[in-house]
Amino acid sequence: MRKHVLRQSDDGKTVNIALGDELLLHLAENPTTGYGWEFSSPLEATGVSLLYDTFEPPTSRNDGAGGLRILTLRAQKKGQTILKLAYRRPWEREEDTPMRITFTLNIM
């Protein structure tokens, strides 16, 4: 089993991973603003499952500083799938989301 790390700067990237591999998404997040990362479609349809959802607080002591959301996924089903995430507030419509990222996974 290998671990692969993707960041916001990898938006649009295609990644080849093996069945059973872990994919870690490292995404800057600032929950104090109400914004958070959400999957745009149910994970059950993507062939990956969510193992862990953790938040690393900021190292800065400044009020309102953001941290790092780490989503750990496992490849469960062979094939190609697309992961779409949106950085939004829960009450906002997805089409009004200011920031979105997409990753294509080839699970072998």
pLDDT for 54 equals: 96
pLDDT at residue 33, rounded to an integer: 86
Q: What's the pLDDT band for 101 if we cut at 50, 70, 90? A: very high
What's the pTM value of the predicted model, to 2 decimals? Answer: 0.90
**SS3 of the chain:** CCEEEEEHHHCCCEEEECCCCEEEEEEEECHHHCCEEEECCCHHHCCEEEEEEEEECCCCCCCCCCEEEEEEEEECCCEEEEEEEEEECCCCCHHHCCEEEEEEEEEC
pLDDT at 70 over 90: yes
Q: Assess whether pLDDT exceeds 80 at residue 56.
A: yes
Task: Kindly tell me if the per-residue pLDDT of 64 is higher than 70.
Answer: no
